[in-house]
Amino acid sequence: MGRLNVTLYVNGQVQSHEVEGRTLLVHYLRQHCGLTGTHVGCDTTQCGCCTVLLDGRAVKACTVLAAQAQGCEVTTIEGIGSVERLHPLQEAFRRHHALQCGFCTPGMVMQGLDIVARGRGGDPDAVRHDLEGNLCRCTGYQNIVEAIVEFARDGAQPRGEPAPR
């Protein structure tokens, strides 16, 4: 079938790659951009390990075509911090021991940023509710919730619901 050129703004940089129509956003990021921090856990829209921000809103990159994201801004875990300089939410995850094996962590952090951006990070019940689409098989939810709530209370700026695309 016809290949197409997909141009995205990933972590502030222009990425442009020729891909198949069926190429998923998560494969575009991992295989074409070399950004393997976004994980594929289940490939069935359930686990949330592939969560990235698409124009500022959390989506599951295994259930979005790269072509659907054409022209959009994408933020992955690589775009928010580095090993030398963690993002404050990553610092909070470390402080609260909010990870064990770490496989779900990139998705948890990106979803946590989305929750806080929507102004729901201060309420532990709301955080739990909005983590419904992210699975942690090490059963670490309690500490994940605590990390997100602490980050929300320590000065993250909620910006309300993003405008529709």
Partner 1 sequence: MSSTMVDFDYARPSRLAEAVRLLAGEPGAKALAGGQSLIPVLKQRLARPTLLVDLQALPELRGIEVAPDVVRIGAFTRHAEVASDAAIAEALPALSAMARGIAHPQVRHMGTIGGSLAHHDPGADYPAAVLGLAATVVTDRRRIPADGFFLGLFETALEPGELVLCVEFPRHRRSGYCKMPHPASGLVNAGAWVTRLPDGVRVAVNGAAPCVFRHESAERCLAGRFEPAALAALRTPAEGLNADLHASAAYRARLVDVALQRATAMALQH
Q: 6: how many CB neighbours lie within 10 A of its CB?
A: 23
Query: Cα separation of 36 and 13, whole Å?
Result: 16
Smallest separation (angstroms) from partner 1 to the CB of 84: 29
Say whether residue 109 binds partner 1 (CB under 8 A): no
Stretch that binds partner 1, among 52-60, 80-88, 139-147, 149-157 (CB under 8 A): 52-60
Smallest separation (angstroms) from partner 1 to the CB of 2: 5
Residue 81 carries which side chain, given as an amino acid letter? G
Measured from the CB atom, is 96 or 118 closer to partner 1? 118
Say whether residue 67 binds partner 1 (CB under 8 A): yes
Say whether residue 80 binds partner 1 (CB under 8 A): no
Stretch that binds partner 1, among 7-15, 63-71, 85-93, 96-104 (CB under 8 A): 63-71
Measured from the CB atom, is 91 or 141 closer to partner 1? 141
Query: Cα separation of 106 and 78, whole Å?
Result: 9
25-54 in b/e form (b: 16+ CB < 10 A) is: bbbbbbebbebebbbebeeeeebbbbbbbb
Q: Pull the structure tokens for residue 30.
A: 């991992």
